[in-house]
Structure 1
Amino acid sequence: MNIIKNILVTDGNSRAALAVTRSLGSKGYKVFVADSAETSLASNSKYCSQSIVYPDPVNNFNEFCSSIKKIVNEFKIDLIIPVTDVCVFPISKLFKDNELNCITPIASDETVSLAANKSKLIKVAEELGVNVPNSQIIESKNDISIDYADITYPIVIKPSRSRVMIDGKWHFTSVTYAKTGEELSTILKNTHQEIYPIILQERVLGNGVGAFYCYKHGKCIAKFAHKRIREKPPSGGVSVLRESVEIDPLIDKHSQLLLSHLNWHGVAMVEYKNDENRGIPYFMEINGRFWGSLQLAIDAGVDFPDHLVSIAKNIEISNAQTYKVGIKTRWLWGDIDLMLMLLFKSGNQLNLPKDYGPKWKVIINILNPFGKNMFYEVLRLSDIKPWLFESKQWIKSLKK
């Protein structure tokens, strides 16, 4: 059994890092929270033993890698848990090159890169018989004159990678929409060549569904599912209120087909859109890292951070695939952001789907602070400082 005492958690300003810190710190591990800022969301937790600053991984890739190596040696880190993609990618490369003297429970560098490439993953999914939306892949700007007639407008324009390295810096991409062929051509022509391939997809109307897994070298150890009740932005984005549900058997089957095919190791979120008209869940992407709503899984009884540590220790995990359904977690300030969007932007500006319903009903639900089996994600009276920190940051953002 591997002995693990000191754990490094990256991306301290993320809600997932806070959930990891609370989980592992409450179990007696010494958790070092690292971020590019001196003070972060997770470093304010009482479960953080020490806050560490590293160079911004978005703009300083090489400096970040050098800093991680120094941190591991200086603080005698036994286990690294990278939380976001911008840290998963360089840390997976460091392990590939045998430059870190510790453990990390993530998939190989090649597997991580494949999972992050949506255009390649779509092809894998189709070969495995997994349902994907009607899609076309535009490999480069030289291909933008092809005929898109077999995809119904509005068309979803989705870069293959959520983050792209250009001139040594990470550039974040986003999903956009085109309502006409002219609008589509304009968007494609104005997209940087390095961001290609671009995926064009039919828009699937329905709730986003996430299936969450922990794997040990291709074997499923734990699983979990939720449904998104409210998202920011409302056309599809980050969930601000979500509820634990039983995993749809077809989603579970397809997710495990994909992850087993990839010989996955560590945690992963497999995303789908549930087409309510056709009754079919369509595969969207795999995120090979912790997800923003991690706290919901922990609240429902699936402690993914603890499972990762057990895998790193080579400890057998049992009874990890059952959990409570009907548990909800709410990201309060994200929900308030959603309310402000609904108040001050039109349905067209927000790209609201036709089945979204009246905005005023959603606003009334947001204003209700209570709910059955509902937890607040950041706001915890037993560990209040992270929420106070987040509240100050949110108020500052309003003044900009």
Structure 2
Amino acid sequence: MKGRILVSDACRGAAVATIRSLDRNGYEVIAADADPRSPGLASRHAKHRVVYACPRSNPQQFIEDILAAVDRYQIDMIVPVTEQVVLPLEAYRARVEQVCRVPWAPEDAMNTVRNKNLTFQLAEKLNVPYPRTQLVDSIDEALLHCRSFGWPLVLKPSSSHTLSEDKPVQVWSVDYAHDEDDLRKKMKQFEGHCSVLLQEYFPGAGVGVEVLAHEGQVIRAFQHRRLREVPLTGGASSLRRSDPLDPALYDQTREMIKTLNWTGLAMAEFKLNDRGESRLMEINGRIWGSLPIAIAAGVDFPTLLCELTLNGPPDKSLPTNLDYRTFVHVQNFQKELSWIIRVLRGAPKHPVMKMPKRSAAIGAMIDLLRPSYRFDILSLRDPMPGIRIMTNLVRSACQAILGPLQRRKQSGRDPGYARTPIASEKLSNQEPLAGAESLEEAQAK
């Protein structure tokens, strides 16, 4: 055994891919998540399972649960998968570092990639193209600058996640405004809470250049392209493909990593149009959602990250490894279903983007059956996470269908039902799953 690794966010496809990869390469894996029904907790590649408090709503208890798990299983290293886990770990960095390792990037570098305004200042310094941008803090400022951009206008929070002492982790998402009234409405959610970058809209395909680096030197590199996204206007990829490294994008990424003196994993996300023009969108300083495509193409970033963190960097005289399989396709089953449903319902017209026709949904259905296409989580070699996904989907569908019927039925029996909340004694008396319990202990309760 090379070491004991705790992998957080076992509900995510990137986490499941990490769990499988590390176990195959000789690590003992502890899968962890806030949801006891998480698919990754069912993987045969997980030696132990841990249920922790929700890191977003209860970060203090989450840390206590993580530290208890570290002590119980003698964990050597934590691999945090999402920003909602990274932020609490960073807030309690001194306590965490006393008991195990975490693949931290330098603090100032992490602050730069987390704050998109600082990211674009870095890009400007290195002559990396990025969308024309204006930082604003209020509705009035946004209205003052919007006329110089044109429509639609991208509203990008300066940070996608924030954590303060008196509040849980807050998540901020990119939005779009199509006119001044829409801008005024969309800015209300940010005003007083989070600075916003007004950006010109740059159409193009989403391209990610992913690297593992040590002190600014790239050790391994990979590139993928988003083929389908959810929502349709842009978001997480439901289908992606491994592409050859674009020399210009790779050089830009390498220069940014070098300037940041970056250590660990990172992904530079670009938009690339049909004319070959590109714009930097952001730098992701942790494991990214499309990680399974890199592993499927032969770039085992999780194992390389653990080797770097636990054993140190390879010989600096060795050249950067740029070899991997290209044109490998990997799908996220749940997001592909969502994409198909959205297209079949009829995508609303967009002032700039070309929305897919309903016939495109047929092609997506065929892709789900292609033997050469892989999935983030579904796997015959490790079937239980996929079975759990199907079970969770059926449960959610039943709740969506039966919930309104039950409410209407109850409302018919009791005219006051709609305006009188019903407390569930069972739920109010249920103990939370805390204390870094193993899944087996949680289920035994």
What range is the shorter-chain TM-score in? Answer: over 0.9
Change beyond 3 A, Cα 1:131–1:372:
farther
Instruction: Name the counterpart of 2:418.
Output: none
Identity %: 31
SS in 1 for 2:299: coil
1:108 to partner: Cα distance: 2.9
Q: Distance in 2 between matches of 1:375 and 1:98?
A: 36
Q: Distance in 2 between matches of 1:93 and 1:264?
A: 20
Greater mean alpha carbon deviation, residues 308-317 or residues 82-91: 308-317
1:373 to partner: Cα distance: 3.8
Q: Distance in 2 between matches of 1:383 and 1:145?
A: 52
Which aligned pairs between 1:248-397 and structure 2 lie closer than 5 A? 248-276=246-274, 278-312=275-309, 313-314=311-312, 316=314, 320-348=321-349, 351=350, 353-356=352-355, 358-368=356-366, 369-371=368-370, 373-397=372-396
Q: Is the 8 A contact 1:255 1:270 kept in 2?
A: yes
Instruction: Name the counterpart of 2:117.
Output: 119
Instruction: Name the counterpart of 2:51.
Output: 53
Instruction: Name the counterpart of 2:80.
Output: 82
1:17 to partner: Cα distance: 0.7
Q: TM-score, normalised by structure 2?
A: 0.83
Q: Is the 8 A contact 1:61 1:169 kept in 2?
A: yes
Greater mean alpha carbon deviation, residues 85-94 or residues 26-35: 85-94
- Kindly provide the amino acid, as one letter, of the partner of residue 44 in structure 1: A
Deviations 1:314-368 (A, max 9, x none): 26276742101111111122111101111124323xx485444x41232121110
1:397 to partner: Cα distance: 2.5
Which aligned pairs between 1:142-181 and structure 2 lie closer than 5 A? 143-165=141-163, 167-181=166-180
User: Which structure's CA Rg is the greater one?
Assistant: 2
1:372 to partner: Cα distance: 7.2
Q: Is the 8 A contact 2:6 2:78 kept in 1?
A: yes
- Kindly provide the amino acid, as one letter, of the partner of residue 176 in structure 2: Y
Change beyond 3 A, Cα 1:45–1:108:
same
Q: Is the 8 A contact 1:72 1:100 kept in 2?
A: no
- Higher relative CO (Cα under 8 Å, sequence separation at least 6) belongs to 2
Change beyond 3 A, Cα 1:170–1:345:
farther
1:142 to partner: Cα distance: 6.1
- Kindly provide the amino acid, as one letter, of the partner of residue 171 in structure 2: F
Number of residue pairs aligned between Structure 1 and Structure 2: 393
Q: Is the aligned partner of 1:244 residue 2:211?
A: no
RMSD: 2.0
- Kindly provide the amino acid, as one letter, of the partner of residue 316 in structure 1: P
1:93 to partner: Cα distance: 3.7
Deviations 1:204-248 (A, max 9, x none): 111111111111121111111111111111111111111100121
Consecutive unaligned residues in structure 2, runs of 5 or more = 401-445
SS in 1 for 2:193: helix
Which aligned pairs between 1:224-243 and structure 2 lie closer than 5 A? 224-243=222-241
Which aligned pairs between 1:178-197 and structure 2 lie closer than 5 A? 178-195=177-194, 197=195
Equivalent residue in structure 2 for 1:215, among 213, 216, 229? 213
Structure with greater helix percent? 2
Q: Distance in 2 between matches of 1:341 and 1:9?
A: 32
Q: TM-score, normalised by structure 1?
A: 0.92
Change beyond 3 A, Cα 1:112–1:158:
same
Change beyond 3 A, Cα 1:129–1:379:
same
Q: Is the 8 A contact 2:214 2:262 kept in 1?
A: yes
Q: Distance in 2 between matches of 1:189 and 1:13?
A: 32
Change beyond 3 A, Cα 1:76–1:119:
same
Deviations 1:86-144 (A, max 9, x none): 11222234335664322222303333232111122112211211100111111345634
- Kindly provide the amino acid, as one letter, of the partner of residue 40 in structure 1: S
1:71 to partner: Cα distance: 1.9
Equivalent residue in structure 2 for 1:129, among 127, 130, 142? 127
